[in-house]
């Protein structure tokens, strides 16, 4: 593993600890409290002791044991490969309608969330971006009618596949019986995660056509804040 990648991976581990604080309403901490540690002169050795044990656990169990950094496909790799950009598609495993107003708000919501993390890296250990720009480049849906007031520049995918939420997963508490048995199929020919290692992959002619990540909305998914990896 290169020196740069190891620094990036360890930085990710540290920020995972920070991110946990943002997700719990009972803990109040401002972004400014974290960016106080982020200057051109700080390194991982300056990590606050409160986060050291958790960061070391993540490094040992997630990065070394599970090999989660073997592929250059973490969110930080995607940002670097996209020169400070992230591109999403929305997978909408639901028959509920998505209004134009909701779709117009989605990119800014994602951009605000991503930069809550990356703002803490500005000036830290050679992180090269002041801000990460986020775009939503497509919608994968069960039915095209879910996209209300579709605009001419909006890309919609309608292929489907079997849902990864099986009956036994639903009965164990991950969802209820309203989870659709099928889910939208992501357009894998445009997925950076699938094709990152192929330097000649064209993404239908341009890297700008890719998507880096997807946001998966599921009717009937309960008792969970989200699901995903990489």
Where along the chain do its domains lie? 1-70, 72-230
Higher pLDDT, 38 or 18: 38
pLDDT at 102: 96
User: Which residues neighbour 99 within 8 Å (Cβ) at sequence distance 6 or greater?
Assistant: 148, 149
Residue 105 φ/ψ, nearest 5 degrees = -85, -20
Using one digit for the tens of pLDDT, what is the confidence trace for 55-75?
Answer: 899 889 988 888 877 777 788
Higher pLDDT, 50 or 143: 143
Tokens encoding 57: 């656990």
Using one digit for the tens of pLDDT, what is the confidence trace for 143-161?
Answer: 999 999 999 999 999 999 9
pLDDT at 127 over 60: yes
Q: Which helix (H) or strand (E) holds 33?
A: helix 31-35
pLDDT grade, residue 42 (50/70/90)?
low
Instruction: Check if the beta carbon of residue 142 is closer than 8 Å to that of residue 183.
Output: yes
**pTM, rounded to two decimals:** 0.75
Cross-strand bridge partners of residue 133: 85
For the chain, what's the residue count? 230
Using one digit for the tens of pLDDT, what is the confidence trace for 15-28?
Answer: 444 333 222 223 23
Q: Which helix (H) or strand (E) holds 38?
A: none
pLDDT at 182 over 90: yes
Q: State the chain's mean pLDDT as an integer.
A: 81
The mean per-residue pLDDT over the stretch 155-172 comes to 89
Instruction: Check if the beta carbon of residue 17 is closer than 8 Å to that of residue 51.
Output: yes
Using one digit for the tens of pLDDT, what is the confidence trace for 91-118?
Answer: 999 999 999 999 999 999 999 999 999 9
Gap between the Cα atoms of 167 and 50, Å rounded: 41
Higher pLDDT, 71 or 82: 82
């Amino acid at each position: 593993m290169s020196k740069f990648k190891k620094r990036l991976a360890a930085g990710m581990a540290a920020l995972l600890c920070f991110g946990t604080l943002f997700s719990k309403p009972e803990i109040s901490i401002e972004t400014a409290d974290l960016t106080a540690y982020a200057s051109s002169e700080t390194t991982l050795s300056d990590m606050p002791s409160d986060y050291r044990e958790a960061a070391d656990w993540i490094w040992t169990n997630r990065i070394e044991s599970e090999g989660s950094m073997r592929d250059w496909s973490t969110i930080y790799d995607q940002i670097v490969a996209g020169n400070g950009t992230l591109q999403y598609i929305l997978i909408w495993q639901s028959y509920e309608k998505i209004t134009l107003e909701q779709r117009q708000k989605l990119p800014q919501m994602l951009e605000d969330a991503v930069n809550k993390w990356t703002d803490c890296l500005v000036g830290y250990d050679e992180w090269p971006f002041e801000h990460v720009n986020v775009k939503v480049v497509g919608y994968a849906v069960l039915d095209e009618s879910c996209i209300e007031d579709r605009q001419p520049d909006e890309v919609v995918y309608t292929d489907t596949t079997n849902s990864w939420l099986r009956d036994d997963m639903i009965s164990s508490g991950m969802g209820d019986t309203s989870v659709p048995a099928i889910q939208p199929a992501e357009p894998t020919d445009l997925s950076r995660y699938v094709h990152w290692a192929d330097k000649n992959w064209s993404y239908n002619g341009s890297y700008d056509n890719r998507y880096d990540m997807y946001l998966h909305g599921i009717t009937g998914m309960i008792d969970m804040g989200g699901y995903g990896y990489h």
